[in-house]
Structure 1
Amino acid sequence: MEVPSEEPDTRYKVVLVGSLGTGKSSLAHTFVRGHFDPHIVSTVGSSFISTSLELSDGKAVALDVWDTSGQEVYKSLAKIYCRAANIGVVVFSLTEYSSFESAREWVTSLRATAPEGIVIGIAGNKLDIANAGKRQVSREDALAFAAEIGASYFETSALTREGVPELFTSLANKVPRSTMAPRRTTVRLDGPPGGSSSSGCSC
């Protein structure tokens, strides 16, 4: 990920959705922190961490990466965090076909809740495990699904970082410039200030 040399004056809201256990928290952490954390546990509710990057036109942009819970009980809560999102990433596990089957439902939920024109990406995660002979979702099937819904498809590994920077950078470059939100200062009323916020047990 290329770190901008100047302070971003705009920001994007990025929301990660998908079934439980697909690695959304690890994807967010690996992208923002630059390394895999084996101690991350599944998010309860939602959490977010922020970073910044430089777009292809040289413009710096801040990203608020929201990680939502895939647990059934929190599905309605996840919809709330999709509001005002510029980018939606639907994550499934390449080693669990049922999570791929659920991806369509997550896309439908995103489009019903998020602003019109949201940029959607599909991420087939856990590529490292899939490459070890445990793949259940073919690249061809995933590409066909992404093409059907008009989304970009990426295969990622939060463990090795393969495909992770490309996922977020590519989608950020697809956001129409007219939808850029001005950078704002956030004051938290429910806890200490910092670069991350969490309503669950982990980010």
Structure 2
Amino acid sequence: MSYDFLFKYIIIGDSGVGKSCLLLQLLDKRFRQKHEVTIGVEFGAKPIEVDDLNIKLQVWDTAGQEAFKSITRTYYRSAAGALIVYDVTKRESFNSVQTWIEEARQNGNQTMSMILVGNKTDLESMREVTTEEGKQLAKQQNILFIEASAKTGDHIDDAFIISAKEIIQKLKSKQIDLRDENCGIKKGANTQNKNTLQNSDDDKKQLNSCC
């Protein structure tokens, strides 16, 4: 399938928060009951449509264990977007979020779009982290926020669509330079819409005057 742009994403967070299940739900709309530890990095690709653009997501699921941190860091540099995932039923995983955000900012490019994802909302009776806490932390860090369930599929696609919209806005406002090999974005072969973001002066004015 042809596409207008390819966006590279990484999924980061503590081990056991459901990163691999989130990727599996995005790609295959299914859930794996048995937890299998990711060794290094896993990969998947998925086409989505955002703002009349055909976007190909290239998603890298990283291992959460300390032993694989050096491997994971190499994937930050050329990522356009990052999902920082925690488990709403495990306070400890939420407490680690700030460390993951700092890691992404230190090792990634300056234009990377980040979204905080509170996973496992299907386990509401076991919740240890409130929605408000997640929102507040995301606001403090100036990143996006959503809660989701890799088991039911609730808001999994939305997490990528919301962050992809932010990346597109950054393209329109020329915050992202496509000539930078580490921006995590590549132009596709689909020429029908490929020039949509080229003439973006009006869009930039609208973005600057918004809110």
**Shared fold (TM-score, shorter chain, > 0.5):** yes
TM-score when scaled to structure 2?
0.80
The reply on whether 1:32 has 2:33 as its aligned counterpart is no
Unaligned regions of 5+ residues in structure 1, if any?
1-5, 185-203
Please report how far the alpha carbon of residue 161 of structure 1 lies from its aligned counterpart in structure 2 after TM superposition.
Answer: 0.5
Instruction: From the CA coordinates, give the structure whose radius of gyration is larger.
Output: 2
The aligned residue for residue 8 of structure 2 is 13
The reply on whether 1:102 has 2:96 as its aligned counterpart is yes
The reply on whether 1:182 has 2:174 as its aligned counterpart is no
- Return the alpha-carbon distance in structure 1 between the equivalents of residues 5 and 67 of structure 2: 33
Please report how far the alpha carbon of residue 38 of structure 1 lies from its aligned counterpart in structure 2 after TM superposition.
Answer: 2.6
Where relative contact order (Cα < 8 A, 6+ residues apart) is larger, the structure is: 1
**Aligned partner (choices 148, 151, 176) of residue 143 of structure 2:** 151
Supply the RMSD in Å over aligned alpha carbons. Answer: 1.4
Please report how far the alpha carbon of residue 40 of structure 1 lies from its aligned counterpart in structure 2 after TM superposition.
Answer: 5.6
**Aligned partner (choices 95, 108, 112) of residue 114 of structure 1:** 108
Please report how far the alpha carbon of residue 182 of structure 1 lies from its aligned counterpart in structure 2 after TM superposition.
Answer: 2.3
Percent of residue pairs identical: 27
Please report how far the alpha carbon of residue 42 of structure 1 lies from its aligned counterpart in structure 2 after TM superposition.
Answer: 2.0
Could you list the runs of 4 or more consecutive aligned residues of structure 1 that deviate by over 6 angstroms after TM superposition?
A: none
- Return the alpha-carbon distance in structure 2 between the equivalents of residues 29 and 103 of structure 1: 22
Aligned length: 176
TM-score when scaled to structure 1?
0.83
Paired residues for 1:1-203 under 5 Å: 7-39=2-34, 41-56=36-51, 58-129=52-123, 131=124, 133-175=125-167, 176-177=170-171, 178=176, 179=178, 180-183=185-188
The amino acid that maps onto 2:145 is Y
| Secondary structure at 2:83 match in 1 | strand
